[in-house]
Structure 1
Amino acid sequence: MDRRSFIRKAGAAGAGAAAVATTLATPAIAQSNPKITWRLTSSFPKSLDTIYGGAEVFAKMLSEATDGNFTIQVFASGELVPGLQAADATAAGTVEASHTVAYYYWGKNPTWALGAAVPFSLNARGMNAWHYHGGGIGLFNEFLGKQGLYGLPGGNTGVQMGGWFRKEINTVADLKGLKMRIGGFAGKVIEKLGVVPQQIAGGDIYPALEKGTIDAAEWVGPYDDEKLGFQKVAPYYYYPGWWEGGPTVHLLFNKAKFEELPANYKSLVHTAAQAADANMVQKYDYVNPKAVKSLVAAGAKLRPFSQEIMLACFEKANEVYAEMEAGNADFKKIWESIKAFRKEHYLWAQVAEYNYDTFMMLQQRGSKL
């Protein structure tokens, strides 16, 4: 065989081998990164860019990690289903996923609220520690699985504000007869002190305050509250929102659809969800300082809840928990886990974090920063 003939035959053999390799490799890649398009319904309007944006961050990361093969279309509250029906739509398979807060559904079963926030529970760091390292994700998914859902933390607002009031609230007696827009589970607690809880959608809060239909309303915190202009009609801005020390915003998935995903997509869903979770609280921590100064400049009067009010609410919350634990095994199992970690979390938090933060806050007050 002459040299030229050998080269021609070797080249042809090499090309054939490459073709075979390509033919063999392509199905493997296609199987690991199949084309999937899901729809996700949010419980939030687009105007609340940080909390609504958590779902967009999640969807963007999944798309980029899979070269556009796993795409999730995000729909704002009301575009597909009403915001407070997001979990129901996901469980029913109307959509594959939702971005919502689990305590919205506490009326079905109080256990829902434990995955998000309940009065005098953990702050944002504590909730994340419990979810990711204290078995919280698994415990909550034992409950969600019964609803046909699978859930992952997908955001956190940090501790919220106590809300907007048309008059000053100094004592427990001042709460009696007060009509307040407040999230469901907290309403059950504060109702024991004479407050009349009201369930009102975000867009209807301002006119209700303006007309005096309600006397007070809680929403989220400075950045989101400023967009709604509450300081114009209810100038007293109280803190802290003891019912939402660290509310987790959940990404919920139709359980059957999630289980159909290939293993690498499931892993990416977990990774993207944890990134979206961290990103949300980081952004709120960045935008709230400027917003609270802006609100005060516009007339908001910052006020702390008195210790009398805080202690009374704490005691009533414990009464509610005792009632829940006595008659709800799912609630009892998860709440016992949270309580055990809460005790340890605040033991540690008062050592280094509290003392460092307190010192730095004193320097800020002294205009030394």
Structure 2
Amino acid sequence: MDRRSFLTRASIGGAAAAAGTVLAAPAIAQEAPQITWRMASSFPKSLDTIYGGGEEMAERLAEATDGRFQIQVFSAGEIVPGLDAINATGDGTVECSHSVGYYNWGRDPAFACGADLPFTFSARAKNAYNYHGGGIDRYNEFLDQYNLISYPGGNTGVQMGGWYRREINSLADLQGLKMRIPGLSGRVLEKLGVVPQQIAGGDIYPSLERGTIDAAEWVGPYDDIKLGFQRVAPYYYYPGFWEGGPTVSFFVNKGQWDQLPEGYKSVFRTCAQAVDQNMLAKYDYLNPTALKELVATGAQLRSFSEEILEASFQAAQEVYAEVSQENESFKTQYEAMLQFRDDWYLYQQTAEYTFDTFMMIQQRNGGLVSEG
């Protein structure tokens, strides 16, 4: 090799080396592209807890990606009705949604497994099952046929049993009761004589006020007080046995998800889990005060009778057997949930239950009166 040839090649190599930092920029940009998605929420903006989960997700993603991954959140009805948010995600109308799987019960009962099933999990148990018991993966195996992928994005904890225009003292009182209650839960109560109605959150109050329905379940004290149900249906029952640990989820169009860089997928999952945990903590913090306010403004607290709870439990088992015969995807998920559920409630009878029960006794006996 002559000297001129060597210098020419060295110069080219040196120039390339010197430009290394400049050349690296496009590669980095390719790894972290600018992405803008739309998220359809199933909830009204007035519910800062559950609707706020979508906004929190958008904020966390933007912060974690230096503003390169942006999501614009739209409340129920702004793009599609709240109950259509999941389907709008699968068909590509929006890139993602924040919703509850059981809203799609009518399309496929197995959608409900990612949200909640009556008499299965508390929120804490559901999180254990989702993150360590394979729940998320099983749900996504099912969702693949609908061009969707999903990650938990919130939980309310055990919900209340809803608002009633008249007292419910026995099974006879359920006969012909028109109640806003979605999906699988409605099918369970239908066996006890209830006439289930699927109504979006924003339409519940006027339906109760006009007497179109006799009862409605929503979430719990903090959200319910915002909607003013106690003014038109004063009897407030508990527990909402159909929603012991209802998971709100982020649903993403599978095609859009597959195009994301792996780093963005990881950040999305991490932010979703943060929202999932934070929503539950927020409800746990706000509900105690809200319940006291509800009682002060006219709500009359009632617990479901053992007769109603036992009959509802048996009705749920009948529904699970029926649906499992009809739907293999539901059966696969449900049976996996049962394996963990049985161990969970056996364990819960030890330390956790004993501690909580003791503290509740102290509270009732006046031993937890705060000073000052």
* TM-score category, normalised to shorter length: over 0.9
Q: Is 2:297 aligned against 1:298? A: yes
Output the amino acid matched with 2:235: Y
- Per-residue deviation at 1:106? 0.5
Aligned twin of 1:5 = none
**Residue-by-residue CA offset, 1:247-281 (whole Å, 9 max, x unaligned):** 00010000011011111111001100000111111
SS at match of 1:193: coil
Aligned twin of 1:249 = 248
**Residue-by-residue CA offset, 1:16-53 (whole Å, 9 max, x unaligned):** 79852321331232122111111111011110110001
Aligned twin of 1:144 = 143
**Residue-by-residue CA offset, 1:81-107 (whole Å, 9 max, x unaligned):** 111111111111111100000000001
SS at match of 1:150: strand
Aligned twin of 1:32 = 31
SS at match of 1:37: strand
Distance (whole Å) between structure 1 residues aligned to residue 327 and residue 340 of structure 2: 20
- Per-residue deviation at 1:197? 1.1
Higher mean displacement: 131-140 or 166-175: 166-175
SS at match of 2:167: coil
Output the amino acid matched with 2:282: K
1:14-25 equivalence runs, <5 A: 19-25=18-24
Aligned twin of 2:202 = 203
- Per-residue deviation at 1:191? 0.7
Q: Is 2:335 aligned against 1:343? A: no
- Per-residue deviation at 1:305? 0.4
**Residue-by-residue CA offset, 1:139-190 (whole Å, 9 max, x unaligned):** 0001100100000001111110000111111111111111111122111110
Aligned twin of 2:327 = 328
Unaligned runs of 5+ in 2: 1-13
Aligned twin of 1:112 = 111
Distance (whole Å) between structure 1 residues aligned to residue 84 and residue 18 of structure 2: 52
Aligned twin of 2:85 = 86
Aligned twin of 2:66 = 67
SS at match of 2:37: strand
Output the amino acid matched with 2:99: T
Distance (whole Å) between structure 2 residues aligned to residue 25 and residue 200 of structure 1: 53
Output the amino acid matched with 1:323: E
How many aligned residue pairs are there? Answer: 355
Output the amino acid matched with 1:320: V
**Residue-by-residue CA offset, 1:220-261 (whole Å, 9 max, x unaligned):** 100010011111111110000000001000100000110111
Percent identity, aligned pairs only? Answer: 64
- Per-residue deviation at 1:210? 2.1
**Residue-by-residue CA offset, 1:320-344 (whole Å, 9 max, x unaligned):** 0001111211111000000111101
Output the amino acid matched with 2:25: T
Distance (whole Å) between structure 1 residues aligned to residue 266 and residue 53 of structure 2: 18
Distance (whole Å) between structure 1 residues aligned to residue 46 and residue 326 of structure 2: 40
Aligned twin of 2:122 = 123
1:192-341 equivalence runs, <5 A: 192-341=191-340
> Structure 2 vs 1, CA of residues 360 and 22 (structure 1 numbering), >3 Å: closer, same or farther?
same
SS at match of 2:97: strand
Distance (whole Å) between structure 2 residues aligned to residue 213 and residue 333 of structure 1: 38
Distance (whole Å) between structure 2 residues aligned to residue 74 and residue 249 of structure 1: 15
1:127-206 equivalence runs, <5 A: 127-206=126-205
- Per-residue deviation at 1:215? 1.4
**Residue-by-residue CA offset, 1:80-136 (whole Å, 9 max, x unaligned):** 111111111111111110000000000111101011011111010111111110000
The answer as to whether partners of 2:83 and 2:200 remain within 8 angstroms in 1 is no
Distance (whole Å) between structure 1 residues aligned to residue 77 and residue 209 of structure 2: 25
- Per the normalisation by structure 1, the TM-score is 0.94
SS at match of 2:219: coil
Output the amino acid matched with 1:122: F
Output the amino acid matched with 1:299: G
Distance (whole Å) between structure 1 residues aligned to residue 70 and residue 248 of structure 2: 21
Aligned twin of 2:10 = none
Distance (whole Å) between structure 2 residues aligned to residue 21 and residue 199 of structure 1: 60
Output the amino acid matched with 1:249: V
